[in-house]
A = this chain, B = another copy of it.
Amino acid sequence: MSTSLHHRAIENLGTRIITGELPTGHIMLAEHLEEELKVSRSVVREAVRVLQSLGLVETTKRVGIRVLPPSRWNPFDSQVIRWRLSSDARGAQLRSLIELRSAVEPAAAELAANNAPAQLRRELVDIAHALRDAGHSGDAQKFLELDIAFHSVLLSGSGNEMFANLMGQVAETLTGRTVHGLMPDHPHEGALQWHVDLAEAVAAGDAATARDASEQIMRRTTSRLSGTWTDQPRVFIPVRRN
């Protein structure tokens, strides 16, 4: 992607809003943004429109472009997630993602065991075995790739497009784990086996066992990552009433 001006403007404003450099309630003028970003009005306007659809800003005539509070941001947008992962709120974002995965993956395992097409089931078993081998041989790079592939295929096999869409975020959390040096040289033997158990349960159509194995995996993942957000306060989004 040859970063267009439009894309760069979104990136610039998005990161600055999410890091808090542009705080809630801060008001910008389109004209001012033109000269600050050294781009034309059309670029600014198109970027603002996109940020508006992400819930980061709102525009009001006679006032300007107002930065909205975090409770209005769309927490499922991949751009927003990416920006938060590279901000001070990284820990809180990881916790949210892990909690979401912990809720969704066992359900996805159950659905996959009941509905996945035969090819995906076979693929899942193959990946699980390769994953175990990579874990034993200590090939960290290959292990990471297979781990991502495993969970991606599982989510895809659920036949729920919302679950499947979380693939990208899962990849982020898994790669983030290596970045933080949280990967042991030799992955936990139990975890390797749980992956195999999960894959074979899905292949056999055993939904209950698949869910159990997935819950085991997520419990371990949670406990391994929970150290990164111990100091992050929880944010309680106010209920929006009409």
A: residues with CB less than 8 A from B are 6, 42, 45-46, 49-50, 53-54, 70-71, 74-79, 95-97, 99-100, 102-104, 106-108, 111, 115-117, 120, 149, 152-153, 156-157, 159-165, 167-168, 234-241
A108 to B75, CA, bound (A): 16
Q: A46-B46, A50-B50 are in contact. Are A237 and B165 (CB under 8 A)?
A: yes
Interfacial chain B residues near A46, Cβ < 8 Å: 45-46, 49
Contact of A74 (CB < 8 Å), options: B42, B115, B160, B165: B165
Q: Which residue of B lies closest to A241 (CB)?
A: B149
Question: What is the oligomeric copy number?
Answer: 2
Partner of A238, one of B50, B103, B111, B156: B156
- Some 6 contacts from A to B, beta carbons below 8 A apart, are A53-B53, A75-B161, A99-B163, A103-B103, A116-B236, A159-B236
B49 pairs with A159, CB closer than 8 A: no
Beyond the given A96-B161, A159-B236, A165-B237, please list 16 additional residue pairs across the A-B interface where CB-CB is below 8 A. A6-B49, A42-B45, A46-B46, A50-B53, A53-B79, A74-B78, A74-B165, A99-B160, A100-B104, A103-B106, A103-B108, A104-B104, A156-B236, A157-B236, A160-B234, A168-B240
Tell me the complex Cα distance, A44–B53, Å.
15
Q: Which residues of B contact A103 (CB under 8 A)?
A: 103-104, 106-108
What's the nearest-Cβ distance from chain B to residue A8, in Å? Answer: 14
- Contact among B50, B99, B160, B162 for A111, CB-based, below 8 A: B99
Q: Which residues of chain B are near A167, meaning CB under 8 Å?
A: 239-240
